[in-house]
Amino acid sequence: MIQMKNVYKKYPNGIVALNGLNVEIEQGEFVYIVGPSGAGKSTFIKMMYREERPSSGQMFVDDIDIATLKNRKVPMLRRQIGVVFQDFKLLTKLNVYENVAFALEVIEEKPQAIKKRVMEVLDLVGLKHKAKMFPTELSGGEQQRVSIARSIVNMPKVMIADEPTGNLDPETAWDIMNLFERINKAGTTVIMATHNQQIVNTLRHRVIAIEGGLIVRDVAGGDYGYEG
């Protein structure tokens, strides 16, 4: 599903964020990416949806070659991938329904099919009754649930999340994790960068630790491994 071979990333300012990553992630896996600030976690995540390109090395996401992918083909890649951010990144001028429908409208689905699918995912995240509300009218946890609905509405094979619980109180964070677990159990690969020690140590999955742009640990069912 995801393959990196000697992936190296040097930013224009000379900082080497990834210093030769080698990793394979299979379809259906749940993977936590952990490590100190500045380790390269976000760069690793951004590479997967081609927000950044490797400076050298090989990288494939679902057989798409990220290093050589043409800019005009990036939307095609992103339709295979759901992305969830710490700060939700919802469109403030659109209501909940419209935020979720947007991803389907751009791929020209039929209106009836869009409506059915949007209501289905809003039901999954428990927000069907708030379809007409705007992001600013929702709590942080609700906004994150909208962003999760948006990320899965296309039925992507992989969901990528960068600190998805970082702005949420602990109880709300667990609600969000329950959704991720359900999405993963339905067969979607989940890759999540996190600093949440308690979640990593409780909901056990593969843990990949990155430090100084290198994978320093890769353990199935591992623990967070740093002091909280």
Positions touching ligand ADP (CB under 6 A) are 11, 13, 15, 17, 35, 37-43, 137-142
Q: Which is nearer to ligand ADP, 82 or 213 (CB)?
A: 213
- Taking the least distance from each CB to ligand ADP, the nearer of 28 and 197 is 197
Q: Name the one residue in this structure whose structure tokens are 């999340």.
A: 161
For the bound state, the minimum distance from the C-beta of residue 210 to ligand ADP, rounded and expressed in Å, comes to 6
Task: Rank residues 11 and 226 by Cβ distance to ligand ADP and give the closer one.
Answer: 11
- In the complex, the smallest distance separating the C-beta of residue 107 from ligand ADP, rounded to whole angstroms, is 29
Closest CB 214 distance from ligand ADP, rounded Å:
12
Residue nearest ligand ADP by beta-carbon distance: 139
- Closer of 141 and 166 to ligand ADP (Cβ): 141
Among 114, 87, 119, 88, which Cα is nearest to 103's?
114
Q: Report the nearest approach of ligand ADP to the CB of residue 185 (Å).
A: 25
Specify the residue, 138 or 160, whose C-beta has the smaller distance to ligand ADP.
Answer: 138
Q: How far is the CB of 225 from ligand ADP (least distance, A)?
A: 15
Q: What is the signed CA dihedral for 69, 75, 80, 81, rounded to 10 degrees? A: 100
The DSSP line for the chain is: -EEEEEEEEE-TTS-EEEEEEEEEE-TT-EEEEE--TTSSHHHHHHHHTTSS--SEEEEEETTEETTT--GGGHHHHHTTEEEEETT----TTS-HHHHHHHHHHTTT--HHHHHHHHHHHHHHTT-GGGTT--GGGS-HHHHHHHHHHHHHTT--SEEEEESTTTTS-HHHHHHHHHHHHHHHHTT-EEEEE---HHHHHHS--EEEEEETTEEEEEETT----S--
Q: How far is the CB of 108 from ligand ADP (least distance, A)?
A: 31
Nearer to ligand ADP, 19 or 58 (CB): 19
